[in-house]
Structure 1
Amino acid sequence: MRTLIPPVVYRLNRCASQDIDVLTHFFAYLNKFQDFAAEDNAFESTLLYYLIVFSEMWERPEPPISEMLARFTGTRVSNGGTYADIPRYCAFSKESSTVCDQLKVGNYEANGIIYKRDEYWNKSATIPTQASVLLLSSKQDPQTPHKYAEYLLDALDGDKKELITFEFATHGTLWTTPLDESDENSETCGMKLLVSYVSSGGDLDGLDKTCVDNMPVFSLTPSITYQYYFLSTNNAYDGVYNASLAALVTSSSSGSGTNTLTTTAKENETYKTVFIVFLVLFVVSSTIAVFFTYRWYQLKHHKAANRDTDDLPDNISISTPAEVASSSPELASPFSTHRVS
C-alpha cells in the first residue's frame, strides 16, 4: 500500500477540485479496508499483544504524556501514536506513578493484566551449541527499524547466527517480500528462506538464499487493483474520479486475509487485451480482403475489356467522317467500321 503514498500526498498538496472526490473515496475505502473482518483475525489477540508489550517492552515508570507526544511528533515515520496507549498501560499494569495516578484507571480490585520481569529480561541470549539463529530484516521497515536487527545480531552470544537484509521490504519480511508483486498469491522470499532454514535443520551453510538476489526492482507505481480500489481513477496522479472503477475491485467477502483483494479489474484488463488483439486482427483481415477484392475487380475489368476487343478481327480499319462521306454519302453515321478485303 505504500505505492499509494506519492499520489495521495501529491493530490493533498495540489488540492484541486478534481482531487476532492478521489481523496474522499481514498479515506473512505482505506477505513473500510482496515475494518475488514477476515478469518485470520481469529488468530490475533489484542489482549495477548498488550500483555507482552506492557510487561516486556514498556518504559517504567510511565514518562509524562507531553514527553511521549514530543517523541511521536519528532519522528519522521511512525506506525502510530504510542502516547495514546498510556491510559491503557496504566489500566493493565495498575502502576503507581505520577502519570497513572492522575489518570485513575487502575483503581479496580482485580490483579493487573501484566507479569513480572524475570532474570532473563533485557539480557543477551547465548546461542546453544546445537542451535543457530536466522534473522530477517528490511532497511525500509518503519515499525522495527533495521538498526535494531543489527544490534541484536551483535548482542547474540555465539557464532551460528546470520542476518539476511532486504533492501525494500516493509514490516514483516515473511510476507512483504513477494517475488512477483503483480500476483497477490506470489511466493515470498522470506517464507522460502524460512522453509529452507527448517528443511536444512538450522544449518546456515545449507541455506538457499537465491531468492534474495531475485527480488523484483523497487517500484512506487500502484498496481491497477490498488489504484482502482483506493483511488477509483484511471490515473493515480491526474485522473478524475470514476466511481465505476472501484466497483471492479471488491474486498473478499469470504475472509481470506485483510490484505487480500479479489478483483475483476485484472480480468477486465485481460478481456480488454483480447478485444484489442481481435480488433487488430479484424482490421488487418478487412484491409487484406478489401485489397484483394479491388485487385480482383481490376483484373476482371481488364479481362472483360480484352475479351471485347479479342472478338474483333485483326484486319479492321477505322475511317474518319470525311473518308466515309466521300466513299458512301448515303451513310448518316459519323463513324463506321468495314472489313478490309
Structure 2
Amino acid sequence: MKWMLVAAALACLHDTISARKINGWYPCNLRTFATPAPATTTSSTGQAMDDESPTIRGWRLNDQDPANAIFRSLIVNPATDMSITLGAAAAAPTVECAEITMPLCHEGICESNATITVFVKRMRAAPGRNTAAAKSLWVLQGGPGASSVNMEGIMAALYDAPGSYLGGSVDVYTMDHRGTGRSSRLSCVASQVETSGSPTKGHFTSQSFPDCIQDVNMQLGDDADVNLLKAYSTTSAATDLSKIISLLNTTPNAHTTVYGVSYGTYLVQRLMQLANPSVKGYVLDGVVSQSGSKSGEKLSFADWAVNMDEIGTAFMALCAKDATCGPKFATSSLQETLKALYTSMDSKGPKGTTCSSFLTSVGGSSLTPPSYTLRQLLGHLLQVQSIRNFIPVLVYRLSRCNPNDATAVANFVTAYLNIIGAPDESDAYDSSMLYNLVALSELFTYPAPSRPSLRASFAGSLIASDTSSLVTMYCLASNGKDAACASEKPSTKPGFQFIYPTDKYFDVAIAIPNGTSVLLLSGLLDPQTPPKFARYQLASFVGTAKRLIEFPTSAHGTILNTPVTVQNKVPCGASIVSSFVMAGGLDKLDTTCLEYLTPNSFAITTALGQRLMATDDVYEGTPRKAIVPRTPSDSAASDVPASTKPPSESQVNSSWRSLAIAAVVVAAVIFLVMVVVVMRLRRQVREAKDLSAEYIVDPVEP
C-alpha cells in the first residue's frame, strides 16, 4: 500500500512538472503565414474590407455546413489601415512563440497521465515601457474550432497603433485553443475523412461522421464512456489558459486582462468561473451568453435562423431613411420587396426567370427553391459589414431582372465565389471535430429540436442561414437518444459518442470575481451574436463591476467593425479595449471615440462596385465586363491574357485575388454569358455539393 501511495505521489509530481514544461521562447514572426488570409470585416477608417473574425472563407451557395454559417472566426484585413499597424509594430516588438506542456486531463475533469502541448504567441512590451505592475493582454479567438492565426492582426493593432492606448507598454498574447492549430489539433487521422482525396472530398456525411467519431475516441484511448472527450471541453481550455497565465505572471502586482470574441467570450466566461487572482479584467466582444437556457437567454445554435432574421429585419429597416437605398424602394419597402421576390421566384419555378434559373443552378439542385439559395446568400452577406450593403442591390436587381440585372447578379455571385474560394493556409489549423464536439455538447438546445422545425424557421425568415443539419449531427454524436432523432435514423458506431457531459460551470450565473471587472461590447447589427444575448449576460452577472457598450451599426467583432471618422486611427472597439487595459478597470474608461463613429450608409464605392459587379452604379449601371469563375487550376482566376487583368485597387481588400475579365458584355451576348457562367459555376458547386441527402458538414474554416 505504501508503495502505491508513493507511486501515486510521484505521478502527481510528474504531472505538475510536465504541465510547466515550456518549449520556447523562440523568436518568430507576428504573421504565421506570409500570404494573408482572405479578409471580410471592416477596418477603422475604410469602407473596404474585412471572420476566426467572422470569415466567409470556404462558403458555397449550396453550403449546408453550420460550421461555415455559425461563428465565423474574426479576420483582420491586412490591406486596409490595419496594415499600417502591422508595419509599425513589426519593426519594434519582440515576437516570441512557445509550446507549453499541459495534462491531457486537468484535475477534476478526467483521468489520464497523457499530456498535450498548447501553442502560445506573444508580443513583448518595448524595453522600458512596461511599468512595475506589469500588464499583459490576452486575445482569444472564436469558433469553436478556429486557431489563433487571425488574432495576429488584432494583436498588432492593439499593441501600438495610432488610437490604441497600449503604446507598446503591454505584453500581448494569444494561444491556440486545445484541439486546434498547433495545440494538439483534433482530427480524423486514421479514417482520413477530412482529406480532399477521401470519397467524400473532405466533407462529413452521415456515413463518414461516425467513422471520425470512432477515430477520435480511439486516438484518445477512450473506452466509450466519454470520459476523455472532456479533455477537449471549454473548461479544459479555460484551465489551460488559467494555468499558463499563472505560470507566466512572475512579476509582483502583475495585471492581466483577457479579451475574447464570439465563442472566445464563452471561453473567457469559463475562465471567470475559475477566478484566477492574476486576472483583473475581462472583455467580451460579440457575447455568447453562458446561462439562461430555460428562459431562452442562453445562445443556442438551434435558434440561428430566428436570431439572424431579427438582425436582418433591423438592417433592412435602415434602408428607408438612407439617401442611397431609400429611393430605390419608394413604393414598397426593402422587406416587402424581398418577400414578394421570394414568392415570385418560387411560384414560377426554377426556370421562371433568368435570375431565378441562375440561382437554382448555383444552388446545385433543381429541387432547391431559388428563394432558399438567395436567403442563404443574403445571410452570409449580412455577416460581412463591408459588403452587406449589396443586400438591397441584389434584391433590387433580382426583382427587376432585365438583361443588365442578370449580368450584374451573375458578376456579383461569380466574384463572391472567387473570393471566398481562394486558398488559405490557415484552414489547415482549424478543427472541424473540435467545433462539433464543443458546439454539440454546450451550444445546442437540449433535448434537440426536430430537423423540420429548424428548416421551417429558416424558410420563414427573410435573411438567414440554414442550420437544420445540426440535428443530424447531434443525433449521430449522441447515439440518437433524443426524440427528435427518431426520424433521423442515424447510423452510429456502437458504443462511441461525441458529446461530453457538462460540468458544474455549465448554464449557471457567473459571479464576477472579487477585484475584477468585465466589459461587454456588442454591435446592434450583429447577426451572429445578436445584442440581446449581451444584455442577457450583463443582467445575469452577479456583481456591479460590469458595463455594456453597444455600437449602433456594427456587425460581429466590434474590435474591428467600429470605424471612426478620424483618419489613421484604430476602430473604436479597439480603442476602448486598450483603454480598459491601461485604466485597469471601468472607472477611467475612455469612450470618446463613440462620438466619432462612422455613420451608417448604404452607399457603395465605385471601386467596390467595379470589383464585384463591373459597374460604377451598382443599382442602375450596365456591367462593362463579365467576371469569369475561377477554376481550381487558376492561380489568378483567369483564362485571359495577363495584360487584360485589372490592376489592384488599394481601396478594396488586396487579399482578394484579381478577378478575371472577359470581353465587354453587350446585349447580343448576355444570354451566352449567362449560360457560360451557370455551367462553370455548376461544375464548381458539383465538386463540393452534398453527395446525397446525407450531407452533414464541411470542415470548419472560421
Same fold (TM over 0.5): yes
Corresponding position: 1:225 with 2:607: yes
2:646 to 248, 254, 259: 248
How far apart, CA to CA, are the structure 1 residues paired with 2:654 and 2:549? Answer: 25
In structure 2, the residue matched to 1:34 is: 420
Q: Is the alpha carbon distance of 1:192 and 1:43 closer, same or farther for their aligned partners in structure 2, counting shifts above 3 Å?
A: farther
Structure 1: runs of 5+ lacking an equivalent? 253-257, 265-341
**Corresponding position of 1:197:** 580
Answer whether contact 1:228 1:248 (CA < 8 A) is retained. Answer: no
Tell me whether 1:98 sits opposite 2:480 in the alignment. Answer: no
Q: Secondary structure at the match of 2:468?
A: helix
Deviations 1:52-87 (A, max 9, x none): 221112112222222112222333443x11113222
Counterpart contact for 1:62–1:97, Cα < 8 Å: yes
Amino acid at match of 1:228: Q
C-alpha separation in 2, matches of 1:47 and 1:186: 38
2:562/2:573 contact within 8 Å kept: yes
Give the direction of change, closer, same or farther, for the CA distance of 1:196–1:94 in structure 2 (3 Å limit). Answer: farther
Q: Deviations over 1:102-155 (max 9, x none)?
A: 434351146322221112211110001111111000111122221121111111
The root-mean-square deviation of aligned C-alpha atoms, in Å, is 2.9
Letter in 1 for 2:551: F
Letter in 2 for 1:248: P
User: Structure 1 residues 70 and 262, CA, compared in 2 at 3 Å: closer, same or farther?
Assistant: closer
Find the partner of 2:398 among 6, 9, 12: 12
Give how far 1:249 is off. Answer: 6.4
Q: Give the number of the structure whose residues are more often helix, by fraction.
A: 1
**Does the 8 Å CA contact 1:87/1:100 hold for their aligned counterparts?**
yes
Q: Distance in 1 between matches of 2:658 and 2:577?
A: 30
Q: Is the 8 A contact 2:580 2:586 kept in 1?
A: yes
CA contact (8 A) 2:477 2:497 kept: yes
Normalised by the length of structure 2, the TM-score is 0.34
CA shift, 1:37, in A, is 2.9
Contact kept? 1:127, 1:133, Cα under 8 Å: yes
Residue deviations 1:269-304, cap 9 Å, x none?
A: xxxxxxxxxxxxxxxxxxxxxxxxxxxxxxxxxxxx
Question: What does residue 434 of structure 2 align with?
Answer: 48
- Structure 2 unaligned segments of length 5 or more: list them: 1-386, 629-644, 660-702
Q: Which residue of 2 aligns with 1:73?
A: 459
Cross-structure match for 1:162: 547
Q: Give, in angstroms, the shift of residue 33 of structure 1.
A: 1.9
Counterpart Cα distance in 2 of 1:234 and 1:101: 53
CA 1:38 to 1:259, structure 2 compared with 1: closer, same or farther past 3 Å? farther
- Residue 54 of structure 1: SS of its match in structure 2? helix
Q: Corresponding residue for 1:127?
A: 512
Q: Which amino acid aligns with 1:21?
A: T
Paired with 1:87 and 1:250, the residues of 2 have a C-alpha distance of: 44
8 Å CA contact retained: 1:54, 1:114: yes
Letter in 2 for 1:175: L
Q: Does 1:215 align with 2:597?
A: yes
Partners of 2:574 and 2:486 lie apart in 1 by 46
Counterpart in 2 of 1:153? Answer: 538
Q: Which residue of 2 aligns with 1:187?
A: 570
- When the two structures are aligned, how many residues end up with a matched partner? 255
Structure 1 residue 157: Cα displacement: 0.6
User: CA–CA distance in 1 between the matches of 2:450 and 2:554?
Assistant: 34
Compute the TM-score of the two structures, normalised by the length of structure 1. 0.67
Q: Give how far 1:93 is off.
A: 3.0
CA apart distance, 1:13: 0.8
Tell me what 2:448 maps to. 62
Give the distance between the partners of 1:222 and 1:49, measured in 2 at CA: 35
Between the aligned residues of both structures, percent identity stands at 31
Asked whether the equivalents of residues 411 and 627 of structure 2 are also in contact (C-alpha less than 8 Å), the reply is: no
* Cα pair distance change 1:245/1:217, threshold 3 Å: farther
Post-superposition Cα deviations, 1:204-252, rounded to whole Å, max 9, x if no partner, equal 1122211122111111111333212211112111111122899536699
2: CA distance, partners of 1:96 / 1:250: 54
1:173 counterpart (553, 558, 564): 558
Greater shift after overlay, 99-108 or 220-229? 99-108
Moved more, 137-146 or 38-47: 38-47
Deviation at 1:160, TM superposition (A): 0.5
Q: Distance in 2 between matches of 1:159 and 1:249?
A: 54
- Whole-angstrom CA distance in 2 between matches of 1:251 and 1:104: 52
Q: Which has the higher contact order (CA 8 A, sep 6+)?
A: 2
Corresponding residue of 1:285: none
> Counterpart of 2:554 in structure 1: which amino acid?
A
**Offset at residue 20 of structure 1 (A):** 1.1
Paired residues of 1:250 and 1:261 also in contact (CA < 8 A):
no
1:312 equivalent in structure 2: none
Decide whether the 8 Å contact of 2:559 with 2:573 is kept in 1: yes
Q: Answer yes or no: is the 8 Å Cα contact 1:177–1:215 preserved in 2.
A: yes
Q: CA deviation at 1:90?
A: 2.0
